[in-house]
Chain A
Amino acid sequence: MFVLFFILFCSFNAVAIEADLSGKTFIDTYFSTQGVATPPKSFLQQNLSLWLQGDLKFSEKFSARAIYQGDYFDATNSSQAAGYSANTLRSTLREFYWQFKREGFSVREGKQIISWGKSDGLNPTDFLSAKDYTFLNPDDEIRRLAGTVVYTTWTPDSGNSPLTFELVTQFIMPKGKSLIPQERIPTGVVISDADTRPISFDNTEYALKTTYNSSGWDLSFSFFRGFDHQPEFREVSRQSIIILQQYYSRIFATGFDFSKSYPDWVLRLEGAYFHTENPNAQTALSKPSHFDFIVGAEKPLWTNWRLNFQMIMRYFPNFKAASEELDPISRQIAQFNSLLKQYVDKTRPSTSVRLAYEPEASDFSSDVFLIYNFEGADYLLRPQVKYKPIDNLKLTVGSDYYGGDQTKPLGSLKAYNSIYFEAQYYF
């Protein structure tokens, strides 16, 4: 579709094309602090990545973009469950789309990342993208995956209305990957590839978002019909071994987000209701329908400091604990899924805090991020320091520390406690 449009466009228009090529390369090494890494490899994961971004601008209204992503990495000690091993070369077009925009209207077609929601780090209304958590990186956005989409926006009154409508049709959804500690996989269980679905009307995802923009505040409502992009695991065979398949379940979701700026802080609210394939919690093998809600505030502190504080709540109106499954194997699978998909408790109140120190004229910056669950007192603590010795080079040193009850989602990731180093060069 993209190529056809491109050829037609160039054939019928004598255009002066503006082209631009940019990119970045980065190397990351994660050293285990839990003794998980097995000799002779002393690291948990190591990667060398190259991103190349090509932009073509045919006119003010019409343009195209392609982003190539090449990752050469060794995940022997971190992501066996995701099918990665030593010396994996992953080469893909991260994004590849064309866009057309005119007053009040825009359309973008192709492989692209659409990231919805206003909260920090966790976004209940982020229905359309997915993340590959098996690819360890200090920047969560690098893990984000794109879908194949037609994305249309319309602002009535030639762009002057305070209302904006966004319509998304996602033909090929992104398939996220979860970080699975090897010791959490039940004994005698093998994990097979993800389920595959043909492109069809039934498997196409649809999303609609309506935003009202006012001076100093905005409010959005969104609707989504599609799939949960992070997998859960379903038993497909129980012979001498048990085979679990990564399964992306159907969901219907509706949500909202709101932000308002005050003189010295910003308020953000975001929430969503997810109607899943297991609405009444008849089984503990699959995630039940639930509500997610986040209220957060971001505020500059003193000079050069910034605080982002959030209260997070997940609530399941109907809930069945994994321990209630009668069959022992089903019970194990339910426990495995409930950890990965975070439905171990009927209510799950949490908090997140991000404190950043970003002096304007300094080459150093640092931040610390904490997410803490009150049920189980499990948490992730991520402090990091960044340094820019020259204009295009950024060095990062940090640590991921998962603590608390190991039968809870974050505590169960203790095997991934690590110290990491990243060098990133832009060109």
Chain B
Amino acid sequence: MSKIILTLFIFLQSIDAYALSADEIMKKNEEAKKNKNITTKAYLITGGGGKAQREKEFSWWRKLSSDTVHFKTLTRFHKPAEVKDEGVLFLEDKETEILIYLPAYKKVRRVETAQQSGSFMGSEFSYADITSHQREDYNYKLLKEEKCDAFDCYVIESTPKTEDVIEKTGSARGVVWVRKDNFVDVKAEIFDLEKKPWKKLVAKEIKMIDEANKKWMAMDLKMENLKTGRFTNLKFEKVDVTKIIPDSIFKKTSVGFW
């Protein structure tokens, strides 16, 4: 009898050893999406809340920095004509720097950290949503495991470690659903500073865009503002991970060259 109990104890211990912590899951989540170079065409389609639907078309370049942690991202808008050539440069580091090129003024303007929770080009995505969230900036807690659509998912709560992160993102809490099979997040709920539901993100058309390195990307992200009823779909097409993006395009002085 004691042998059976001992065997069962060892078995349960071994199961526990293979169970992933919330931090480990989020690390795998980060790795699953860490593409070195992404060049793609993108669309922001914003509607709801009794307003007419509006679409913006832009190019998107994202490159992993040499520190293999942070990204540099450049977006260059093509349509509508009102925003043609507007560029937004995201330089992630310990502090994320965001610069906007305004073609009407032919000038580059800085976005203050406090404004990074503001709307990205009039959409329901904020500048902070467009940058990659740094895993080290959050505490994670595994809430439960459940089905999300057809997949088994981990449900993880994230809370910012510092006031700076709260100020930058405008959010004091998040809950994310991460698929068990590929560690890609398929859904997230974002809470405001008072921890009331603020935005909901749903990721669709999740594709493996780099088979050699097993990297994934959601081709359709829908961000819904639960307070206003407005939503934005961020859609990607013509994704290219083979082209090595030169660092020079992420320079402040290059943003003005369309």
**A interface residue numbers (CB < 8 A to B):** 20, 22-24, 53, 63, 99, 101, 103-104, 106, 108, 113-115, 117-118, 139, 141, 153, 155, 158-160, 164, 166, 211, 213, 215-216, 218, 259, 261-266, 298-300, 360-361, 363, 390-392, 394, 426-427
Contact = CB atoms under 8 A, between A and B. Distances in A.
A108 B257 CA distance: 9
B91 A118 contact: no
Interface in B148-170: 164, 167
A164 B167 contact: no
Nearest to A262: B112
B253 A113 contact: no
B112 A263 contact: yes
A159 B248 contact: yes
A23 B79 CA distance: 11
Contacts of A23: 81
Contacts of B118: 300, 360
Nearest to B78: A20
A198 B247 CA distance: 42
Interface in B73-87: 78, 80-82, 84
Given A139-B104, A164-B251, A213-B252, A264 B114 contact: yes
30 contacts: A22-B84, A24-B82, A53-B84, A63-B258, A99-B257, A103-B248, A115-B106, A115-B107, A118-B107, A153-B253, A155-B253, A158-B246, A158-B247, A159-B248, A160-B247, A160-B248, A215-B91, A215-B93, A216-B95, A216-B97, A259-B110, A263-B112, A263-B167, A264-B112, A264-B114, A266-B109, A361-B49, A361-B51, A361-B228, A390-B52
A105 B252 CA distance: 13
A96 B105 CA distance: 17
Interface residues of B, number: 41
Contacts of B119: 360
A106 B80 contact: no
Nearest to B55: A391
B115 interface: yes
A261 B49 contact: no
Contacts of B41: none
Interface in B98-128: 104-107, 109-115, 118-119, 122
Given A159-B249, A263-B167, 11 more contacts: A101-B257, A108-B257, A114-B106, A118-B107, A159-B248, A213-B251, A216-B97, A261-B110, A264-B112, A299-B112, A390-B52
A106 B110 contact: no
Contacts of A261: 97, 110-113
Nearest to B83: A426
B254 interface: yes
Interface string B28-55: 0000000000000000000001011010
B180 interface: no
Contacts of A394: 82
Contacts of B106: 113-115
A51 B112 CA distance: 33
B204 interface: no
A101 B107 contact: no
B81 A22 contact: yes
A161 to B, nearest CB: 9
The binding surface of chain A is classed by DSSP as strand
A183 B230 CA distance: 54
B79 to A, nearest CB: 8
Interface in B136-187: 164, 167
B114 A159 contact: no
Nearest to B51: A361
Interface in B227-258: 228, 230, 246-249, 251-254, 257-258
A264 B230 CA distance: 27
A106 B254 contact: yes
Contacts of A103: 246-248
Contact of A106 (B49, B97, B228, B257): B257
B55 to A, nearest CB: 9
Closest 7 A-B residue pairs measured CB to CB?
A159-B248, A264-B114, A22-B81, A426-B81, A115-B106, A164-B253, A263-B113
B88 to A, nearest CB: 15
A66 to B, nearest CB: 14
Given A215-B91, A264-B112, A265-B112, A155 B97 contact: no
A159 B105 CA distance: 24
Give the one of B82, B111, B122, B249 with max A CB within 10 A: B82
B15 to A, nearest CB: 46
A155 B255 CA distance: 13
B81 A155 contact: no
Nearest to A160: B247
A178 B185 CA distance: 59
Contacts of B258: 63
Nearest to A389: B52
